[in-house]
C-alpha cells in the first residue's frame, strides 16, 4: 500500500514568497484543509458503518492464530471493500468534491492523509483524529512528477513559481544541501511555518537513500549500554573502558523556565482582561463565556509559541548530538525497552521537557543510516536493576541509587545497569562476559564516570545520582567500605556557594588521595570537601 518503504530523507530549503503568492498559497491551503476535513468525516462515517456490520462482527470472531490468519485477513479485506473503507475509495470520494483548484494529485495525497489518520485510529494506534481548524493545515505534498514540482531552482505548483533560497557559498551545512540536491527525488512537500508571528514557506525534497553523514560523526566499534532514567542517562562502553553519567538534556532547563514565565504572564493577562469569567476562588466559571483578548495578550501568546518552537528545536539538536556521541562509542547499542508514556505519567513535567522517548526513536532512526544495531530488550527477562555479577537478585526501591552487593560489587545504580545492558546478549545478561569486563577495569571506570558527572546548572546534583548525603546509600560510606584507598573523601556534602563569613571554606580542600587521580579530581571539583 501507499506507505513509502525504501529509505528516504528530507532536504529542506526556504522559499522566497511575495505577498501575492502568499495569499494564493494560503487560499489553496484552505481548500486542502476543507477537503481533508471532508475526507476525514467520510472516513469516520464509513468506519462506523463498517464496524456495525454483521460481516465485520463475524470477521472479528475468527481466531488470530496462524491457521486462521489468511482467512481472517480475507474476511476483513472483504468487509473493507464492501464498505469502501480503503485508501483508494477515499481518494475516489475526494475527487468528487468540488472545491477550488489544488491539483488532482494533491487531492489524492490529502485523501490518503485523512485515510491514514482514520485507519490508525481504527487499529487503535492513535486517538480519534480531529478536524483541522482554520490555519491548522500546514503542508501539502505532491506525487512523483506531479502538479507540485521541483525544477532544481524553484517550486512550481499550478502557475506559482516559488524560488528557493540557497545557502551562501562556504556556509556551514552546504554539503548537506548539496548531497540532498544530488539524490534521487521522490516527491516534494510545501510546508508552512509560523516563525515569531510571520508566515514562512519551505520546500521539502523527499529524496531516496540515506541522509548525509558528516565526516566528524564517525561510528565507533564495540558494545554500548544505555540506561535512560526520567532525567538522566548513563552510557557505558565496556569495550573501550568508558562510561559516563549525565543529566538528560539539562540545557533545556533555561528554555523551560522561559516558557513558564511566559505562561504565567499569559494567564495573568487573561485574568485581567476577563475578570467576569472567574469565580471568587480563581477558578473558571462554568458555561459559555466570551473571552476578551487584548493586543498585549496576543503578543505574549505569539512570544510563547515562539519559545515553544525554539525549545523543540534546541531539544532536537541536543538529542542529535547525544545520539552521535553514543554512536561514536560503539556500533552495538543495547538498552532496555521502556514505556516512556509511563515515565511521563510518573514523573511528568521534567520528562515532557527532555522527551526521552523522542531520543530513543531518533536513536533507532539514525542507527539505520549509520549502520549501528540498536537492541531494545525487555525488562522482564533481564531485570538489570536487580541483578548482580554474582547472580544474586535483589530488589531495589527507586530511592536506592547504589548497587551494593555482598560479593563486594559496589556501583552507582544507573551506571551499573548501563554497563550490564552492554553485556546483554539475545535478551539475557551474559554474566561471564560482564564479570570479565568488570575485573579488567570497568569497576574503576564507573567510579571515574560518577566523579566526573557534572552537577546541574543550579549547583546541586540530582538526587538520582546518589551523591547527596541525605539520600540512602550514600557513596561515602560505600567508598569507605570498599577500602581500596582510592578517593577516600571525608564527607560528601552538597555543593555550596563559598560562604563569605567562613574563611576556611575558601581554602583549597586537602585530601589524602593521590594527585592526578581522575576520581579525586572529579570529586574535588564536584562535591567539595568539608573542612569542619
Q: Give how far Cα 314 sits from Cα of 42, 214, 319, 323, 455, Å.
A: 39, 19, 9, 14, 20
Grid cell digits, residue 148: 507540485
Contact with Zn ion (CB under 5 A) among 48, 195, 292, 390: 390
Q: For Zn ion, which stretch binds (CB under 5 A), given 15-23, 185-193, 361-369, 407-415?
A: 407-415
Instruction: Please give the backbone phi and psi of residue 508, each rounded to the nearest 5 degrees, phi first.
Output: -65, 140
**Looking at 16-24, 93-101, 260-268, 402-410, which segment touches Zn ion (CB under 5 A)?**
402-410
CB of 391 to Zn ion, least distance (A): 7
The per-residue DSSP string of 151-172 comes to -SSEEEETTEEEEB-PPPTT-T
CB atoms within 10 A of CB 407: 10
Site stretch for Zn ion (CB under 5 A), options 199-207, 404-412, 426-434, 520-528: 404-412
Select from 405, 456, 476, 529 the one that contacts Zn ion (CB under 5 A): 405
Q: Is 476 in the site for Zn ion (CB under 5 A)?
A: no
In angstroms, give the least distance from the CB of 384 to Zn ion: 13
Residues in the chain: 532
Candidate ranges 80-88, 187-195, 291-299, 406-414; the one touching Zn ion (CB under 5 A) = 406-414
Residue 255 parent element (H or E): helix 252-273
Does residue 388 touch Zn ion according to CB under 5 A? yes
CA dist 329 and 218 (Å) reads: 9
Smaller CB separation from Zn ion, 42 or 414: 414
User: Which is closer to Zn ion, CB of 150 or CB of 437?
Assistant: 437
How many binding residues for Zn ion (CB under 5 A)?
6
Going across the sheet that includes 242-247, the strands are 242-247, 232-237, 223-228, 332-336, 373-377
Q: Is 407 in the site for Zn ion (CB under 5 A)?
A: yes
| Of 203 and 446, CB closest to Zn ion | 446
CA distances from 490 to 390, 509, 510, 517, 522 (A): 30, 11, 10, 16, 15
Sign of CA dihedral 347, 349, 354, 357: positive
Binding map of Zn ion across residues 225-244, x = CB under 5 A, - = no contact: --------------------
Q: Binding to Zn ion by residue 420, rule CB under 5 A?
A: no
| Residue position matching grid coordinates 540515506 | 210
Q: Between 245 and 410, whose beta carbon lies closer to Zn ion?
A: 410
66 or 406: CB nearest Zn ion: 406
Largest CA distance in the chain: 85
Q: How far is the CB of 337 from Zn ion (least distance, A)?
A: 25
Q: Which is nearer to Zn ion, 327 or 419 (CB)?
A: 419
Q: Give CA–CA dist 230/364, Å, rounded.
A: 19
Binding segment for Zn ion (CB under 5 A), chosen from 270-278, 298-306, 353-361, 389-397, is 389-397
Looking at the Cβ atoms of 292 and 390, the one nearer to Zn ion is 390
Give me the 169-208 binding string for Zn ion, x by CB under 5 A, dash otherwise.
----------------------------------------
Instruction: Name residue, grid cell 473558571.
Output: 284
Quote the cell numbers at residue 176: 548537506
Interface ranges with Zn ion (CB under 5 A): 388, 390, 392, 405, 407, 409
Amino acid at each position: 500500500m501507499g506507505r513509502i518503504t525504501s529509505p528516504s530523507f528530507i532536504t529542506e530549503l526556504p522559499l522566497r514568497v511575495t505577498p501575492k503568492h502568499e495569499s494564493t498559497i494560503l487560499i489553496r491551503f484552505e481548500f486542502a484543509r476543507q477537503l481533508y476535513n471532508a475526507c476525514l468525516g467520510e472516513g469516520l462515517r464509513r468506519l462506523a458503518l463498517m464496524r456495525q456490520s454483521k460481516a465485520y462482527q463475524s470477521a472479528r470472531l475468527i481466531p488470530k492464530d496462524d491457521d486462521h490468519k489468511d482467512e481472517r485477513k480475507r474476511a476483513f479485506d472483504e468487509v473493507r471493500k464492501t464498505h469502501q473503507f480503503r485508501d483508494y475509495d477515499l481518494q475516489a470520494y475526494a475527487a468528487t468534491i468540488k472545491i477550488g483548484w489544488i491539483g488532482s494529485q494533491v487531492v489524492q495525497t490529502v485523501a490518503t492523509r485523512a485515510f491514514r489518520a482514520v485507519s490508525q485510529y481504527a487499529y487503535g494506534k492513535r486517538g480519534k483524529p480531529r478536524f483541522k481548524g482554520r490555519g491548522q493545515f500546514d503542508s501539502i505534498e505532491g506525487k512523483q512528477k506531479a502538479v507540485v514540482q521541483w525544477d532544481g531552482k524553484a517550486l512550481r505548483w499550478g502557475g506559482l513559481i516559488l524560488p528557493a533560497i540557497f545557502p551562501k557559498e562556504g556556509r556551514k551545512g552546504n554539503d548537506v544541501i548539496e548531497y540532498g540536491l544530488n539524490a534521487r527525488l521522490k516527491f516534494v512537500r510545501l510546508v508552512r511555518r509560523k516563525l515569531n508571528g510571520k508566515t514562512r514557506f519551505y520546500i521539502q525534497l523527499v529524496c531516496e537513500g540515506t541522509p548525509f553523514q558528516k565526516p566528524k560523526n564517525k561510528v565507533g566499534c564495540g558494545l554500548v549500554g544505555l540506561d535512560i532514567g526520567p532525567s538522566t542517562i548513563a552510557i557505558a562502553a565496556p569495550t573501550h573502558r568508558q562510561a559516563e553519567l549525565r543529566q538528560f538534556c539539562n540545557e533545556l532547563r533555561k528554555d523551560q523556565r522561559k516558557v513558564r514565565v511566559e505562561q504565567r504572564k499569559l494567564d495573568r493577562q487573561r485574568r485581567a482582561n476577563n475578570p467576569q469569567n472567574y469565580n471568587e476562588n480563581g477558578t473558571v466559571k462554568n458555561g459559555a463565556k466570551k473571552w476578551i483578548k487584548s493586543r498585549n495578550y496576543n503578543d505574549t501568546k505569539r512570544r510563547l509559541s515562539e519559545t515553544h518552537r525554539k525549545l523543540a528545536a534546541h531539544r532536537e539538536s541536543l538529542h542529535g548530538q547525544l545520539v552521535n556521541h553514543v554512536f561514536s562509542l560503539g556500533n552495538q547499542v543495547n538498552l532496555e525497552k521502556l514505556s516512556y508514556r509511563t515515565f511521563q505519567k510518573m514523573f511528568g513535567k521534567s520528562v515532557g521537557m527532555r522527551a526521552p522517548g523522542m531520543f530513543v526513536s531518533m536513536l533507532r532512526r539514525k542507527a539505520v543510516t549509520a549502520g549501528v544495531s540498536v537492541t531494545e530488550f525487555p525488562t522482564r527477562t533481564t531485570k538489570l536493576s536487580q541483578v548482580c555479577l554474582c547472580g544474586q537478585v535483589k530488589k531495589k526501591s527507586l530511592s536506592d541509587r547504589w548497587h551494593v552487593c555482598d560479593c563486594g560489587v559496589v556501583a552507582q545504580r544507573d551506571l551499573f545497569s548501563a554497563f550490564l545492558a552492554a553485556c546483554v546478549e539475545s535478551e539475557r545478561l551474559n554474566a561471564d562476559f560482564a564479570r570479565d569486563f568488570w575485573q579488567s577495569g570497568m569497576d574503576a571506570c564507573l567510579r571515574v564516570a560518577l566523579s566526573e558527572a557534572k552537577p546541574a546548572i543550579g549547583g546541586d546534583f540530582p538526587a538520582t545520582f546518589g551523591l547527596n548525603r541525605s539520600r540512602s546509600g550514600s557513596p561515602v560510606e560505600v567508598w569507605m567500605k570498599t577500602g581500596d584507598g582510592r578517593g577516600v573523601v571525608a564527607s560528601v556534602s552538597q555543593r555550596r556557594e563559598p560562604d563569605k563569613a567562613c574563611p576556611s571554606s575558601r581554602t583549597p580542600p586537602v585530601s589524602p588521595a593521590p594527585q592526578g587521580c581522575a576520581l579525586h579530581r572529579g570529586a574535588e571539583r564536584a562535591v567539595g570537601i568539608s573542612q569542619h
